[in-house]
Structure 1
Amino acid sequence: MPIQLYHLIAFVVSAFVVLWTTPIVKTIGIKSGRVDQPNERKVHQRPMVRLGGVAIFTGTIVALLLVWSLGGFGILPPTKEWEVWGVTLGGIAFFLIGLADDLLNLSPFLRLLIQVIVAGVVWQMGVHIDFLSIPFVGLIQLGWLSLPFTVIWLVGMANAINWIDGLDGLAAGVSGIAATVMLFVALSMQQPAAALIAAALAGGALGFLRYNFNPAQIFMGDGGAYFIGFTLAGVGIIGLVKTAAVTAVLLPYLILAVPIVDMSAVILARLRQGKSPFSADKRHLHHRLLRAGLSHRFAVLFIYSLTLWVGTLALAFAGIPSGIAYACAGTSLLSYTSWQVWKHARS
């Protein structure tokens, strides 16, 4: 069977399972009273079930198990097999951390501690960043610094996706776009196993938009956000930065630039005011766009275009055929949406 067919199967099966299970999860959430109540910081105006991550997680795992049973992962070398298991098991652990928070409301520091421990175990399984790209210097071997850099990347991305989950369909759409770009980049770098994980995740995230795009019927919750964020970060490590090239090392940071920059800007702003980086506020990009007068949907679509733009830049940097054409198209789309944002802000 052609390897591309396995990736298509992973994408379609994951999306189908999510489409099938999300209404079931919603019904269970309503009956059990597991809903997110509106408040002054949140945008939604009515109680919403926030367990949609269960459907995304189920769809992704079912798709990967099916592809595994069909032989889609092939005979992986021992090192690669441990990497795939590290990302998969780590994703399961991060999903359970988020689900526990959705159900039990864990303290931020307890969540962070458990996440760091899990990320450390995943690093031990072979999912680690070995190189750092320094402008005008090149690649630097990290050595023992690989552990803290890897932990910060895995934990940071899990929380970054969780933090942008502030508007209907925002986190799912941004993650779906990023996972799709990672799928193509990983394939171009001859990393089919990482691409399979990206394909399943992309199908699950984009399938969830059927029920999560504005007006949303259900939220993914911390379980879904942590699972997606960790898995994206893990795929970025085992599928993109394993190649000792400056462009390869930079690709995952470029693909995920939107949640990375948003999270970094919010943390710096909070620290400058002497506040905890975990304190909740309305400093995120989507909050600023709403204050500028954009509608809920248009704010989300603008951030989609921003994510798609950096994704097309990554395709061009990766040397994918027609990558420059994709980057030009992405730039044109972003220019148009930016112009629309400017018009709304002035009106």
Structure 2
Amino acid sequence: MAATFTAFFVPGVKALCLRLGLIDSPDKRKQHRSPMVRLGGVAMIFGFCCALTITWLIGGFGLLPPLKDQLIWTTLAGGLCFFLIGLADDLFALPPFPRLIGQVSIAMAIWSQGLRIGAIEMPWLGEESSLMVLPPLLSLISTVIWLVGITNAINWLDGLDGLAAGVAGIAAIGLISVSFSLHQVAAGFLAAALAGCCLGFLRHNFNPARIFMGDGGSYFLGFTLAAISIIGPAKGLTTVSLLLPLLILSLPLADMSAVIMSRLREGRSPFHPDRSHIHHRLLRAGFSHRKTVLLLYAFTQWLGALALVVANAEMRFLWLTVATAILITAVLLSRKELIDSRKTNQPLNTTSPRVK
């Protein structure tokens, strides 16, 4: 449902934005050569909300205890608020610090509504002391860092056509499998709706893109992924449930960490835009736009399969074997294309990615 609704809403959003002049004009640091609509996140929000609303109307949420039901609506409210921050940035080009302050404030409000990292289970300490309850202040700090960090990691990954939507969609599919393997239906509902709106949007966003999701869309994706990983555990974040989202989202998290350290080492602000992200490096190495995106897709799905092994999911080793075969195939094909292009002295990449 989410994929169908999102794909259906995208043309309408694009037509409306073109009529209102809400477009992203090309310049020397952007990859597109004609005006592009960058408010595709609006369609993603509609698709996500419609899918969850219909699920609720047909009684799907009746499977959930009241607390989990509430957390779904809290996640939806938080996603909408993060989307509005990104939408304001798309329309008015907000400075980095006001955006960060807004994100932290919303994350704190979300924490106050019960969506929080409240405890961590450590079974190796013994049954009596296996659950380490976090003090309120530490719980607040951990939750805010988690929500804001993953949100910005996905946002910074949105530099190539289809990259953020594809990586987030694959990560959401991994969270679907993990959630139902751990019998966490609420997280599974949210992950399914998120995966659907990513896949529906990719129909219009894969290279060559006809619309961009904008910061509103990437903030929404990042926050929702972060929230799903907190909703899953029943009592607190177990060592397994803490490791799973870190595994699935390790690509954008590692990319963000490396970029921040690189900028700080060079004496620049962590928010200073440059071309040091992993997709920039692959493009500079000579990979084509599509091969770069597909290679990062392959790596993300392999990490998702690895998370299934950690979660002890059914047929986990079969999925890991398939994912490994896909990753190896993607690497070999990309390497072959790169070697062929160097032999003919024809660079594969002729476009400049969006700078984050």
TM-score normalised by length of structure 1: 0.91
Determine helix, strand or coil for the equivalent of 1:56.
helix
1:7 is aligned to none
- Tell me if 1:29 matches 2:17: yes
Q: Which range moved further: 99-108 or 56-65?
A: 99-108
1:205 is aligned to 198
Q: Extract unaligned runs of 5+ from structure 2.
A: 343-356
2:249 is aligned to 256
Q: How far off is 1:131 after superposition?
A: 4.1
Cα separation, 1, equivalents of 2:262 and 2:334: 23
> Compared with structure 1, are the counterparts of its residues 33 and 161 closer, same or farther at alpha carbon in structure 2 (3 Å cutoff)?
same
Q: CA RMSD in A?
A: 2.0
Give the counterpart of 1:73 among 61, 74, 88.
61
What does 1:1-347 align with in structure 2 at a 5 Å threshold? 13-74=1-62, 76-131=64-119, 141-143=133-135, 144-240=137-233, 242=235, 245-345=238-338, 347=342
Tell me if the contact between 1:241 and 1:248 (Cα under 8 Å) persists in the aligned partners: no
> Compared with structure 1, are the counterparts of its residues 180 and 327 closer, same or farther at alpha carbon in structure 2 (3 Å cutoff)?
same
Cα separation, 2, equivalents of 1:190 and 1:121: 27
Q: Deviations over 1:24-53 (max 9, x none)?
A: 111111122211223343322322100100
Tell me if the contact between 1:176 and 1:201 (Cα under 8 Å) persists in the aligned partners: yes
Q: Deviations over 1:182-228 (max 9, x none)?
A: 11111111111111111111110111011000000000001111111
> Compared with structure 1, are the counterparts of its residues 133 and 270 closer, same or farther at alpha carbon in structure 2 (3 Å cutoff)?
farther
Cα separation, 1, equivalents of 2:120 and 2:283: 36
Give the greater-gyration-radius structure (CA). Answer: 2
Determine helix, strand or coil for the equivalent of 2:62.
coil
> Compared with structure 1, are the counterparts of its residues 118 and 91 closer, same or farther at alpha carbon in structure 2 (3 Å cutoff)?
same
TM-score normalised by length of structure 2: 0.89
Determine helix, strand or coil for the equivalent of 1:265.
helix
Q: How far off is 1:296 after superposition?
A: 0.6
Percent of aligned pairs with the same amino acid: 51
Q: Deviations over 1:80-102 (max 9, x none)?
A: 23322221110111111111211
> Compared with structure 1, are the counterparts of its residues 309 and 30 closer, same or farther at alpha carbon in structure 2 (3 Å cutoff)?
same
Q: How far off is 1:305 after superposition?
A: 0.2
2:353 is aligned to none
Q: How far off is 1:79 after superposition?
A: 2.6
Tell me if the contact between 1:15 and 1:204 (Cα under 8 Å) persists in the aligned partners: yes
1:9 is aligned to none
Cα separation, 2, equivalents of 1:70 and 1:309: 35
Cα separation, 2, equivalents of 1:132 and 1:299: 37
Cα separation, 1, equivalents of 2:121 and 2:280: 32
Cα separation, 1, equivalents of 2:89 and 2:243: 32
1:5 is aligned to none
Cα separation, 2, equivalents of 1:244 and 1:32: 45
> Compared with structure 1, are the counterparts of its residues 244 and 164 closer, same or farther at alpha carbon in structure 2 (3 Å cutoff)?
closer
Q: How far off is 1:341 after superposition?
A: 3.8
Tell me if the contact between 1:240 and 1:251 (Cα under 8 Å) persists in the aligned partners: no
Q: Extract unaligned runs of 5+ from structure 1.
A: 1-12
> Compared with structure 1, are the counterparts of its residues 289 and 139 closer, same or farther at alpha carbon in structure 2 (3 Å cutoff)?
farther
Q: How far off is 1:239 after superposition?
A: 1.3
> Compared with structure 1, are the counterparts of its residues 300 and 75 closer, same or farther at alpha carbon in structure 2 (3 Å cutoff)?
closer
Q: How far off is 1:75 after superposition?
A: 5.7
Q: How far off is 1:128 after superposition?
A: 1.0
Cα separation, 2, equivalents of 1:56 and 1:83: 20
Cα separation, 1, equivalents of 2:310 and 2:119: 18
Cα separation, 1, equivalents of 2:107 and 2:67: 18
